[in-house]
Structure 1
Amino acid sequence: MKKIKLSLETSFWAIDEIVDPFKLINVFFNYCTIDIYKNTLSEIMLYVNKAEVCNKERPGDLFDFHTAVRSFIRGAYLLNFKAKRWEVKKAPKDWLIISQGSLNKQEYQNPFLVFEKAFECKTLEEYEFFLNEIVHVSLSPYKEQFDYDLINPHIHLVKMLDAAQIINERGIKKIKNK
């Protein structure tokens, strides 16, 4: 199998250029919390259909959000190929399933399924286009009409954030060859 080379482009928001998608997840959630990412994404989505500018006081925050989430999407794409060799550690029995977020039980048990489903639905380029478009339009004082789907990429991105949070919390282990 040919090894996929894809720059995660983390040097815009992280200290170093990161090449490992698992390390990216850790740095990504150290940069901001999942709640901040989800709230910012929701706020941006609210401004997509408004003739108002999102976050007028600090529009640079949306640039930071864009660069970090773009790196995250690229890392999520690479995680898609890691599922055959890695698995997420099981949650301890005493953990309450509060952090399940938008995931169903099967996705909570195996978060790699989320990335697989997401990239079956849309390509990496389509997710990057979605991110570019919603940030661009939310910073525009004009109302725009869309002839393409913004809902499915949004739903999958939220699920990918939840899945990555689970991977970050529970950790991973290499699958032993049988």
Structure 2
Amino acid sequence: MAKDLAELMKEKNTAESALMESVKENSDLNKELSSAMDDLGSLKADAERMNTREKDLTKRLATITEQRDELLGQVERLREDLANVTANANSFKEQASKQLEALSQQNLDLLSSNHSLGDQLEALNQTVKGLTSDKQNANERIKLLADQHTAAQESIGQGNAMKSQLEGQISALSANLERSQKQAAAL
């Protein structure tokens, strides 16, 4: 029996040792489980932050996509505007070129006309010089005629004075003749 008791004690010690080992393993497992739970909480928090960040990034991506679409629309409108401006500029350039050509032709015509007018002006100047000379000659002739007219007027004045004197003398002679006739008739 002592042998059985020793074996039982031995088994009890072995069982206690196994129990202690099991408690120790269980404690280690509980620590690992607690650490795993902490890691899981941290991972859940990280996952929540990542979900929030993903939502923010999705919103930003939608906003950026919308802005990109608006910019692409603006770029397309700007391309159309540029095409219109280029077409207008080309049309304006063509019209300006035609107007410049017409103005150049007008300028040539005006230069030719100006040259012709210059020739005409020179001819007119020569004519004016001739007319001025003729006018001077005419003025001299007019002065001469005026002097002659003045002299003639003076002669006419003198003639009229002489005529008046002669008329006075004729009147006196007529009166004398009439008296003489009356005297002769009375005799």
**Greater relative contact order structure (CA < 8 Å, 6+ sep):** 1
TM-score by length of 2: 0.17
- The structure richer in helix per residue is 2
- Highest Rg: 1 or 2? 2
